[in-house]
């Protein structure tokens, strides 16, 4: 059966997450509903990278299988009509056919996230960033971000009860960007554990605020004990920026 990829972006403030859930509105539920309304058939979508409640995405993907779309489908026009049905905080960017074996989750080579923080009160950032008005040690933040590149087991930064076979991740890049009044943590890896980016950010902020050393931060990583990490940063600061694929073999 023909397979299609959908690239989308969304503001996650009003949603309980990316993946469909019982008794909660999600990005997947809204997109499946819009597709079903326009195409007059039910759709089941497979997502590439789950995001939790309140997390945003500049780029994420679903794929689906259907034999209801004619070969001559104008996909730009289809995306236009789907966007007319979707709420304003979700947008389909592209929709295109791929090879039948293509998989938007398992074929992804990396995911890239950003976590945004602003230090001065700013009503224009409050939905998309975390207000953190405390004094931070820049050297600690930079050193902690660099330290992460030396490790592969991130069990300390995985939420408990996460059902995964391994806590190993390959972090490709990890760095803080500093600007007047705000800063951004940028991280790219082949995969992320549930809650991992928020755990990394929260633990680094605590270290840079409380005067902890890089050695103490390293001990948290090596402990494989999530109770020693800090996850209490809001989801609104987190955005999935990119899901990277090899050259997609379009059908």
Catalogue the active-site residues.
52
Report in angstroms the alpha-carbon separations of 62 from 27, 57, 94: 10, 13, 11
Structure tokens at 196: 């991992």
Structure tokens at 114: 């950003």
Q: How far is CA 140 from the centre of its chain?
A: 25
Report the distance separating Cα 26 and Cα 89, nearest Å: 12
Cβ neighbours, 10 Å, residue 119: 16
Report the distance separating Cα 128 and Cα 238, nearest Å: 8
Report the distance separating Cα 62 and Cα 44, nearest Å: 10
Residue with tokens 């939905």: 127
Report in angstroms the alpha-carbon separations of 55 from 102, 105, 246: 26, 18, 25
Half-sphere exposure of 153 (CA within 13 A, CB side): 12
| Residue among 113, 117, 114 nearest 180 (CA) | 117
Structure tokens at 4: 């299609």
Report the distance separating Cα 201 and Cα 184, nearest Å: 10
């Amino acid at each position: 059966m023909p397979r299609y990829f959908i690239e989308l972006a969304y503001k996650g403030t009003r949603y309980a997450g990316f993946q469909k859930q019982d008794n909660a509105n999600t990005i997947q539920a809204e997109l499946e509903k819009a597709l079903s309304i326009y195409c007059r058939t039910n759709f089941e979508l497979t997502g590439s990278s789950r995001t939790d409640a309140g997390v945003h995405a500049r780029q994420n993907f679903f794929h689906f299988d259907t034999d209801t779309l004619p070969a001559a489908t104008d996909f730009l026009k289809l995306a236009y009509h789907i966007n007319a049905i979707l709420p304003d905080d979700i947008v389909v960017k592209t929709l295109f056919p791929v090879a039948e074996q293509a998989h938007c989750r398992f074929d992804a080579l990396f995911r890239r996230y950003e976590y945004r923080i602003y230090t001065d009160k700013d009503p224009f950032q409050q939905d998309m960033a975390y207000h953190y008005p405390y004094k931070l040690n820049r050297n600690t933040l930079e050193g902690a971000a660099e330290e992460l590149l030396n490790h592969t087991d991130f069990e300390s930064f995985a939420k408990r009860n996460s059902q995964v076979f391994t806590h190993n991740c390959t972090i490709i890049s990890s760095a803080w960007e500093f600007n007047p009044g705000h800063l951004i943590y940028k991280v790219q890896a082949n995969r992320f554990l549930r809650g991992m980016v928020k755990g990394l950010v929260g633990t680094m902020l605590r270290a840079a605020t409380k005067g902890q050393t890089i050695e103490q931060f390293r001990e948290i990583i090596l402990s494989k004990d999530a109770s020693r990490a800090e996850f209490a940063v809001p989801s609104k600061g987190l955005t999935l920026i990119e899901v990277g694929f090899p050259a997609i073999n379009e059908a």
